Structure 1
Amino acid sequence: MNFENVEFYNAGAVEKVPGLGDHGFMRIPENVRNQLNDRARFVAMDSVGCEVRFVTASPNVDIFLSCNRPEFSEMGEVRVFKGDFLFQTLPIEPGKVINFRLNPPESFNIASSLAINAGGFSSDVWRLAFNRGATFCLHGIDTHGYAIRAPKADEKPRLNWLAYGSSITNSSLDGYPHFAARKLKVQVQNKGMSGACHMEKEMVDYLVDECEWNFATCELGINMRGGFAPDIFEKRASYLVNRFTATGKTVVIISVFPNCRTSTHTVKPEINTEREDAYNAILSALVEKKNVPNLHFIPGKDVLDDFTGLSGDLLHPSSYGHAIMGANLADKLRKLI
């Protein structure tokens, strides 16, 4: 299989994974991730939001995939899309190469071309999208002699969104960035760092200098309040704001989403509460002081505007929470992009 004939999206690097294969999808390349905090070094290997995309007329397409064990579940998961339509959801047993066959749905011959091409992707594009927690490896695509190619520019959404943030951004294929991207008909590069969004210089430089994007959102603060004084947070946030805005592209800074330690929602305020308030004020002030037309600030409370959208830990959104966050953020971003 000539992998030059397919597109790897959201993969910062394709690397060898011991025991699995040579084509493992890493969201952040090794030379960058190994300069980050300890947790980020393996979270960056999570393939969430990475996609394998291709176009072929073959009536039978055999796919060969594997993954390592996800951090929070027993099985990996790949979702197969035909254009914008979810075609199949498949569990992947860790450590084993699995094979499945794709056959173009007959229903696509019944619906009008206008109907099945109303989203951002052409209905001719096959997409293998990887869910949260594992590193996925592609071992082969067999089209049984039919030609295969990467999608053309006009077969994909025009705009490319870069989403950086905490586990709430890292989320899953049902997380708020992916929901909002569907609403906006854009592509989203999920660069969320679960429990590890520390705004290191190396990470910021990589996102700005090496990733291709048209607009970016940076959800900042929640992962730093437990171990970073406000002055350190301000220094790192200031560097991020300056580097991102210097590109001239649209940049949106999002403050901490409401949670059980937020000052307006807690009966037991503590150091994390104080730091969250300080962080939010710092972010707002940085944007106001910068005062450039491509930089915008959205308070987290305006994205998660229903506290019952949180799960039982009162920190991470539920499926409902991610849905309302995605809808709210899409409405706000639509006015900026």
Structure 2
Amino acid sequence: MIYGQAELHNVEELVRIEGRPGLLMQRVPETVRSGLLEKGREQIRRATAIEVRFASAGGASITLASYGGASKAQVFYGDYWMEDYVIGETPLSIRTGELEPMFQFRSPWREQIPRQSFGAIWRIVIQGYEVHLVDLAPEQLRPPLQHEVPALRYLAYGTSITFGLSASSPELSYVSQTAWRLGMDAVNLGMPGTAYCEQAIADHIAARSDWDIASLCLSVNMLNQGIPAEEFSGKVKAMIHTIASAHPGKPLVCIGLFPSFADLGWSWPDREMQSTSLEYRQVLKEAAESSGFPRVYYVDGRDLLEDWRGLSHDLLHPANSGMIQIGERLAGFMRPLLADRL
């Protein structure tokens, strides 16, 4: 969406919260959020792959605040990283401007720099909690032009793994890593702990026309909460049908569970699983292959992350090395599906 003189990427609605400065950057409209379970209504407000984008002839100032915990912000100039910030409840102003050496900003070097995905625009990439846009100084700013951003978009839905919870920076989630390798924009609808294949989210993805390929990473949350494979089957089939019937010509990739403690026969503390991870993978595979839509695909999460050392200490969430491996292999799986577009 365009706000002021900037583009807010992966933001569908700006929401005013009483007692907080600025506007909450929300990944789905409030009408969609209200259709989720209570915990999901909280998690969908958390920022991931949200970007403030603009071109500027001079300096600019973007003021942000984060509620619920500290959030991370990375500053990029086009494809190129510049610096990192941590955002808390006290509003923080991020100032952009020319940095030494002047390769990015001054002639003749500026015109010769390879710019493969993004043009010469500023990008503030945000991940973490509920991030508010407090102020955006409109000094000589403009939104990116069409040729300055990727032409194609990858939309991802899933759990905290999709959200990128255990990645140390926004650019290292498997969603961002996949999009980076394919030269695409990332639309991340990961919902930590709450990816329950809810109809409100399925309807939202189906109603969107701004993506070219999508993935559904389903769903260790449901397994962990003791939802039997039979119930998971009904929900995942309904989600696939809702999305694929609205976009029969677009690839929809269903990602089976990544390796985790569940493959060792263990349960999360104080929880009892009613099905196994193998049963969940088989349900998703069958749902994809029997969907009746030729552009629905299945990929096993164990083929995307083979090395257990790619997991973090909880034996569930991939750490940086695991996220990178998933991104590399998922991009390899998706590339042939986009052969006519890339």
Unpaired segments of 5 or more residues in structure 1? Answer: none
- The match for 1:61 is 60
CA deviations 1:75-118 (Å, max 9, x no partner) are 32211111011112112222x2222321123231364534341x
Q: State the secondary structure of the residue aligned to 2:294.
A: coil
Distance in 1, matches of 2:265 and 2:112, equals 50
Aligned ranges 1:94-105 → 2 under 5 Å: 94=89, 96-105=90-99
Number of the residue aligned with 1:25? 25
- Work out the CA distance in 2 between the residues paired with 1:126 and 1:206: 29
State whether structure 2 residue 229 is matched by structure 1 residue 234.
no
Note if contact 1:47-1:135 (Cα within 8 Å) is conserved in structure 2: yes
Cα drift, residue 272 of structure 1: 3.1
> In structure 1, what residue type is equivalent to 2:161?
I
Amino acid at match of 1:237: V
User: 5 Å matches for 1:76-155?
Assistant: 76-94=71-89, 96-105=90-99, 106-108=102-104, 109=106, 111=109, 113-117=111-115, 119-122=116-119, 124-132=120-128, 134-144=129-139, 146=140, 148-155=141-148
Secondary structure at the residue paired with 2:134?
Answer: strand
Identity percentage over the alignment? 25
Q: Find the aligned partners of 2:319 and 2:30 in 1 and give their Cα distance.
A: 32
For the residues of structure 2 that align with 1:170 and 1:255, how far apart are their CA atoms?
A: 16
Distance 1:104 1:143, change over 3 A: farther
What CA deviation, in whole Å up to 9, does each residue of 1:222-262 have, x standing for no partner? 01012312222111111111112111211000011111111
SS in 1 for 2:186: strand
Q: Distance in 2 between matches of 1:326 and 1:157?
A: 18
Q: Aligned with 1:208: secondary structure?
A: helix
Query: In 1, Cα distance between the equivalents of 2:93 and 2:219?
Result: 41
> C-alpha separation between the residues in 1 aligned to 2:229 and 2:330?
26
Query: Deviation of residue 46 (structure 1)?
Result: 0.4
SS of the residue 1:45 aligns to: coil
Aligned to 1:257: 258
Task: Report matched runs for 1:43-54 at 5 Å.
Answer: 43-54=43-54
Q: Distance in 2 between matches of 1:114 and 1:296?
A: 40
Alignment partners' CA distance in 2, 1:91 and 1:312: 24
Question: Number of aligned pairs?
Answer: 323
- Residues 128-186 of structure 1 show CA distances to partners (whole Å, capped at 9, x for unaligned) of 11112x11122222254x2x221111111111111000110011512111111111110
- Equivalent position to 2:163, from 164, 167, 170: 170
Aligned to 2:199: 201
Distance 2:130 2:260 in 1: 30
User: TM-score scaled by structure 2?
Assistant: 0.88
Aligned-pair Cα RMSD in Å:
2.1
Give distance in 1, aligned partners of 2:286 and 2:145. Answer: 42
TM-score by length of 1: 0.89
Gap regions ≥5 residues in structure 2: none
Work out whether residues 20 and 67 of structure 1, in 8 Å CA contact, stay in contact via their aligned partners in 2: no
Q: 1:143 to 1:11 in 2, by over 3 A?
A: closer
